[in-house]
Amino acid sequence: MTHSQPLRIGMVGYAFMGAAHSHAWRSAHRFFDLPLTPDLTALAGRNESAAREAAERMGWASVETDWRRLIERDDIDLIDICTPGDTHPEIAIAALEAGKHVLCEKPLANSVHEAALMADAAERAARGGVFAMCGYSYRRTPALALARRFVAEGRLGDIRHIRAQYLQDWLSDENAPLTWRLDKAKAGSGALGDIGAHSIDMAQWVTGRRITGVSAMLQTFVTERPVGGELVGLGGHGQTGAATVKGPVTVDDAALFTARFEGGPVGVFEATRFALGRKNAVRLEVNGSEGSIAFDFEESNVLQYFDGNDRADARGFRRILVTEPEHPYVGNWWPAGHGLGYEHNFTHQVVDLVRDIGRGVQPRPSFADALQVQRVLDAVTTSAGNDSAWRSVQQSTEEQG
């Protein structure tokens, strides 16, 4: 393969998502023919020694301790944002206004108002050929992409009912430490925004229909957690010892809501990080008048498909192993049957983004698409705060203000 020029990346953040994104930037052009070659130019992090260690480990050529320096550099074409949600708007808008493409992790922001500002900035930038995309990576799971294809081809008939779950268990221990993901000021919400946002995007993307209204409830099971394992002396009345310093959990531990979609389908959604035994159970089921599909990321290379037009004596869910060259993305990887994993979604995300930038077309999901998800998150939160009252998904007064 020959590539005419590099796409020089500046990434902000280097933890879990930073590692996944780094792997994707390193590997995409080695398996897919791309119009531009990703170059891991610079990594930004506030702790210089930690950032330098991460850069060396993950293959970045240089380090900055202020994300603003990335934007000022002439040798960077795209800013990849892998930081908590409260930082997304400032970084993304500044990057777009400086003429840099942007990849921003989900959810887009912590409020509809902030997400709308980002979407407006992205729309202005796109007029000049500068593009922004939000990282809803599960869209790039081959089995889910196949499910979307089946829906688009009409194999399910009229869509009637959607079930979406995202179940994890990593917060089930009430003594697990307080992190930024449990701080509303940084994360925006808990299970709802962290993992429920994925379910919202997947359901809308696979069915091609937007959610128009919700009735919701949110619940916090553990209201305070240890802060960094710090200890303080108990003292008083001759007692000695130590107690763990605890801080408040200000987000939801579980989110549940029912939904209506454009054109009539109904849906039910669950998101929690308290489902013991469920490690990353991203589940989606779509039921139509002529068929159904069912997916669980814990069996990520499988799509279950029921064809309602089969003879009655032969009906049943069909297990499709999504590892053939004819399946989305798969032909660029291993021999048929060998399967792909979580990290491949991020590589496919890079592939789609770089190809769209090379063609001069808007990558999806756009910031406008991600704003729609943010509106649903806002509607869920508003409904849950009003005794599960029905809430339409529309421009909120916060956004209009």
DSSP three-state, residue 172: coil
Average pLDDT over residues 175-194: 96
| Tens digits of residue pLDDT in 118-164 | 999 999 999 999 999 999 999 999 999 999 999 999 999 999 999 99
How many domains are contained in the chain? 2
Statement to judge: residues 216 and 269 lie in one domain: yes
Contact residues for 354 (Cβ-Cβ < 8 A; gap 6+): 7, 28, 29, 34, 35, 36, 38
We report the CATH number of the domain holding residue 181 as: 3.30.360.10
Provide the pLDDT confidence category of residue 243 given band limits of 50, 70 and 90.
low
Q: Is residue 126 part of a domain?
A: yes
Domain limits at 215? 142-299+301-340
pLDDT at 241 over 50: no
Statement to judge: residues 175 and 292 lie in one domain: yes
Q: Is residue 190 part of a domain?
A: yes
Statement to judge: residues 169 and 83 lie in one domain: no
Statement to judge: residues 133 and 163 lie in one domain: no
Whether the Cβ atoms of residue 144 and residue 299 lie closer than 8 Å to each other:
no
DSSP three-state, residue 216: strand
pLDDT at 227 over 70: yes
Q: Is residue 159 part of a domain?
A: yes
Share the mean pLDDT of the chain: 94
pLDDT given for residue 394 in this prediction: 83
| Tens digits of residue pLDDT in 324-352 | 999 999 999 999 999 999 999 999 999 99
pTM: 0.94
260 to 93, 176, 200, 265, 390: CA distances (angstroms) = 32, 36, 12, 6, 10
pLDDT given for residue 4 in this prediction: 65
Provide the pLDDT confidence category of residue 1 given band limits of 50, 70 and 90.
very low
Number of H helices, E strands in the chain: 12, 17
Q: Is residue 271 part of a domain?
A: yes
pLDDT given for residue 244 in this prediction: 81
Terminus-to-terminus CA distance in the chain, angstroms?
50
Q: Is residue 390 part of a domain?
A: no
Provide the pLDDT confidence category of residue 44 given band limits of 50, 70 and 90.
very high
Statement to judge: residues 103 and 216 lie in one domain: no
Q: Is residue 243 part of a domain?
A: yes
Statement to judge: residues 308 and 208 lie in one domain: yes
Statement to judge: residues 329 and 188 lie in one domain: yes
